[in-house]
């Protein structure tokens, strides 16, 4: 069969089912895209590597059907290969899950043609029988569960590469430099740095978060406002207040009618968050000494028992992580490091008194066990409790006093 005749067969199949078809010759060279003059071909079907992977897969059987929410059908004959699809089953809906799967293949479900996969298989089997004399048992093929099987790993790999190439060839997106500078400026309460961040030129294009340009910009603004408010919370701003402020700005964004309005709203929110951190810093400068003293007083008053960082933070009305970061920033060490040192300092006079055993001292100073006490004491002082006691008392604590 000549190539012209092979293309004529493909045209008949395309007309019968209304599906896009790529026609390849025996050497996997593309002969035609059908239907001619139709819509722009699916991006994957213009990628040579993807088509080559499918043609190679087609050689395993005369007729094949692959499914990954969208379908691909293959007919491989000595004269060449027909690649049919992508298409949807007429019974499939267009729910969110389906849309996500279809987008993974570079298309929207509403743009895909529909067909009954089993009917298409029967038509291709009859075509195979008439052109080669070979019978393809559709019923046996379907009974193996092939209709519900995923696209082979080879094709999935090529699909990922196609998506990567399409991204690389598309317009460059804005990088994270702008976002990172905004976050750093807000976290430090630095309005000058925030102005520099907003002055940073954006040479790429924004992510498309919705079909409508305005809706996409609103969605991006909601993301930006959320990030800014969370950054302020990380810097110590009251979470409830920050979330209420963010919710207010998001409501205003939803009412905005232009991208310029939305950009101004995001900018105002950013400076609002930045000033909230500034106010907190000014207030904290006065309270920092009191806070350090309160933390250390709590530790000293609770040395005889084990307590958690969360318990300490709750008593001072802070989040545990923020309190620990703030204390380290002010004192140069974590709360746990201070607690360990305080327990060791409390143990020293008990060692020198030689009235208690190591196990008793461990219990009195809040250590988990005697071995834990010995290990931490050596880490903090460079010597074991035994050597420390001998050095200052002249004899170990296990040498009992005589009465």
Residue 121: C-alpha distances to residues 13, 14, 114, 137 (Å)? 11, 14, 14, 10
How far is the C-alpha of 30 from the C-alpha of 33, rounded, in Å?
8
Superfamily of chain region 337-393: Homeodomain-like (1.10.10.60)
Q: For the chain, what is the total number of helices (H) and then of strands (E)?
A: 17, 6
Which stretches in the chain have pLDDT values below 50? 96, 109-110, 147-150, 171, 397-403
pLDDT of residue 401: 46
The reported pLDDT for the residue numbered 176 is 66
Identify the H or E element spanning 199: helix 191-199
Q: Which two tokens stand for residue 163?
A: 């998506």
pLDDT of residue 346: 92
Tokens 């092979």 belong to residue: 6
Question: Can you give the pLDDT at residue 265?
Answer: 92
pLDDT at 179: 82
Domain 3-168, CATH: 3.30.450
Contact 316, 295 (CB under 8 A): yes
Distance CA 289, CA 38 (A): 74
Segments in 200-238 forming alpha helices (H): 213-234
Q: What is the structure's pLDDT at 271? A: 92
pLDDT at site 42 = 54
Q: How confident is the model at residue 259, as a pLDDT?
A: 86
Q: Residue 165's pLDDT is what?
A: 56
Residue 377, pLDDT score = 93
Structure tokens of 266? 């995001």
């Amino acid at each position: 069969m000549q190539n012209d005749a092979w293309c004529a067969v493909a045209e008949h199949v395309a007309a019968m089912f209304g599906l896009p078809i790529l026609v390849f010759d025996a050497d996997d060279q593309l002969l035609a895209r059908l239907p001619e003059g139709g819509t722009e071909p699916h991006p994957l079907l213009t990628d040579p590597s993807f088509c080559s992977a499918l043609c190679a897969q087609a050689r395993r059987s005369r007729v094949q059907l692959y499914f990954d929410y969208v379908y691909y059908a293959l007919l491989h004959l000595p004269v060449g290969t027909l690649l049919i699809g992508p298409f949807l089953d007429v019974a499939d809906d267009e729910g969110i899950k389906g849309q996500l799967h279809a987008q993974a293949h570079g298309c929207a479900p509403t743009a895909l043609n529909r067909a009954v996969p089993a009917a298409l298989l029967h038509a291709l089997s009859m075509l195979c029988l008439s052109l080669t004399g070979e019978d393809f048992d559709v019923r046996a093929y379907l009974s193996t569960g092939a209709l519900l099987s995923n696209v082979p790993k080879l094709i999935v790999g090529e699909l990922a590469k196609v998506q990567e190439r399409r991204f690389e060839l598309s317009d460059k997106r804005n990088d994270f430099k702008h976002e990172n500078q905004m976050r750093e400026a807000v976290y430090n309460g630095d309005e000058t740095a925030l102005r520099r961040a907003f002055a940073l030129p954006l040479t790429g294009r924004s992510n498309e978060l919705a079909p409508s340009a305005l809706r996409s910009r609103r969605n991006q603004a909601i993301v930006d406002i959320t990030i800014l408010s969370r950054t302020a919370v990380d810097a110590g701003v009251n979470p409830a207040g920050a979330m209420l402020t963010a919710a207010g700005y998001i409501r205003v964004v939803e009412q905005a009618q232009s991208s310029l309005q939305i950009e101004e709203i995001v900018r105002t929110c950013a400076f609002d968050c930045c000033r909230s951190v500034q106010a907190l810093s000014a207030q904290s400068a006065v309270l920092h000494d009191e806070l350090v003293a309160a933390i250390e007083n709590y530790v000293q008053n609770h040395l005889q028992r084990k307590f958690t960082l969360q318990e300490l933070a709750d008593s001072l009305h802070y989040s545990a992580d923020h309190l620990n970061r703030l204390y380290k920033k002010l004192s140069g060490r974590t709360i746990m490091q201070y607690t360990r040192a305080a327990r060791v300092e409390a143990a020293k006079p008990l060692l020198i008194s030689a009235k208690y055993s190591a196990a008793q001292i461990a219990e009195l100073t809040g250590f988990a066990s005697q071995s834990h006490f010995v290990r931490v004491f050596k880490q903090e002082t460079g010597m074991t409790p035994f050597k420390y006691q001998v050095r200052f008392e002249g004899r170990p604590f296990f040498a009992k006093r005589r009465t």
